[in-house]
Structures are given as C-alpha cells and as structure tokens.
Amino acid sequence: MKIPPLSQISLAASWLLLGLLLAMVADPALFTRYSATAGAAVEHLRAPSGAHWFGTDQLGRDVFARIIYGANRTLPAALIAVATGLLAGAGIGALAGAAGGRVDAVLTGLMDVLMSIPELLMSLTIVILLGFGTIHAAIAVGIGQIAGFARIVRGDVTRISAMTFVEAARGGGATFAGVLWRHVLPNCMTSLIGLSVLRYSTAILSIATLGFLGYGAPPPAPEWGLMISEGRDYLATAWWMTTFPGLAVLLVALATTRISRTIVDPAGKRR
C-alpha cells in the first residue's frame, strides 16, 4: 500500500480540522454536554479525565466545552477582521494601481506609513479607541491588515493593467470601472484568496492576543485568548488551562497557513 506524501496528509488534516471547527461553530452542543460558563465548585481544577477530557478550570468549568464554545467567538471574529482588511485594502489597492500618477503616489505613501506600524500596536490603539469586546477587537485587527491587502492588490492591478487584453478592452471603448471590474480584479483573485486565508490565521493569533491582554470578550465569555490569560496563574498546578486553548490557536493557525500555501501555489512548487 502506497503511503500518500506528507504534504498531502498535512493538507487533508488541515481541511479536516477546519471542517470540524466549522461544525463546532454551527452547533457547539453537538460536541459537548457541558456549559461553557456554568461550573461546579467541587469540580475545580480537575485534571484531564474521561469525564472532563481537557480538565476543568478554577471555577469548575469544563475546558473542552469552553474551547468549543470559544471557537464560536474567535473564528467568526477572525472572519470579520479579514473581511474588513480585504474590502478596504482591495478597494484602495485597486484604485492606486489602476489610477496611477498622483493618486497612486499618495495612496502608496499612506500604505507605506501604515505598514511601518506594527499590526499589533495599531490594533491595540484602535481597540482602545473603539472600546473593548470581540467585535471591536476584530475590526481593530482588520484595520491593521488593510495595508497588506492594498499592497498586494496594487501590485497585481499594475501588472495586469499592462497586459494586452486589458489594453484591447480600453481600445474597444470600455470604461475605467468596467475594465477594472471585468478584466483586472478577476485576475487578482488567486493571490487575494490565498492572502485572505493566510491573514485569517494571523487574525486568529491577533484576536487571541488582544483577548489575552484583556481587550477582547469580558469574563466569563469562553474566548481562547482570555482562557490562556486566566490559566497563567495556575501553570504550576493546572497546566491544561493554558495548554489546550493554546494548542487550539496554534493548530488553527497552522492549518489555515497550510491551506493558503496550496491556494497560492497548487503545484506545491517553491518560489
């Protein structure tokens, strides 16, 4: 029996993990009978066992249940973040690449300034201005990703706009908006989708970081970053409180990164 290559196994595992997480988001109750917020004092700090697969926290809440219900917060929030960065960044990048001249210079200069600021620092600043909470954290992370999307789209639009079929469309009387919408942007989709998936993993890490710092969902919400933060005071006696939420963040980030590489380079070639 021929064993599939390691790359194919990792890709299949990545898709399987994301499919499982989507099912958790759709209906968390299918995967656990425990509540994410209610606990029992007599069950506090129980080690992983048959009754509690990932153990319990300081309030007797099931850690596995909190991770499952936490996916219902973290994963949609990361999607909001990527959508914010994608829509705004793609619009700015497309305008800069298609318009050229002074418009391109101004917008590119603005994106260079934004890219010089660390994304986490920008996200922290914005979430402080907007207020705490999962949605505000997602928007803040998305704003921090705008410059990256804009630079990629601008480069693709500039390259594609110089191609023969685009110039033929212009010569045929097509409008600026028509050329951009019908001929240029569709040819940017491969790199844009690949970047979006990659940025999704970055958004998960950023939202978990904001939650860890206390800028995400308030307690007792089951948010992955908040769970890691709550467990740091119990590392010596209850390692599972931080280990399992941390593994959830890490595995999802690795899975989405692996999938994004396949979308950008389906043949698996190194560039």
Alpha helices (runs of H) in the chain, residue ranges in sequence order: 6-26, 63-99, 101-115, 119-130, 134-161, 164-171, 176-179, 189-213, 224-231, 240-264
pLDDT for 248 equals 92
Q: What are the φ and ψ backbone dihedral angles of 62, each rounded to 5 degrees? A: -70, 120
Q: Model's pTM, two decimal places?
A: 0.82
CA distance 91 to 89: 5
Q: Looking at residue 3, what is its pLDDT?
A: 52
The stretches in the chain having pLDDT less than 70 are 1-4, 161-162, 165-167, 169-183, 264-271
Q: Which amino acid, one-letter code, is at 182?
A: R
Residue 56 bridge partners (DSSP): 62
Report all structural domains of the chain as residue ranges with CATH numbers, in order of start.
75-257 (1.10.3720.10)
CA–CA–CA angle 260, 261, 267 (5° rounding): 130
Predicted pLDDT of residue 64: 92
What distance in Å separates the CA atoms of residue 82 and residue 89, rounded to the nearest whole number? Answer: 10
> What pLDDT sits at residue 217?
81
The number of C-alpha atoms within 13 Å of 175 and in the hemisphere containing its C-beta is 3
pLDDT attached to residue 271:
39
pLDDT of residue 81: 93
pLDDT digits (tens, 9 = 90+) for 233-269: 888 889 999 999 999 999 998 888 888 877 766 544 4
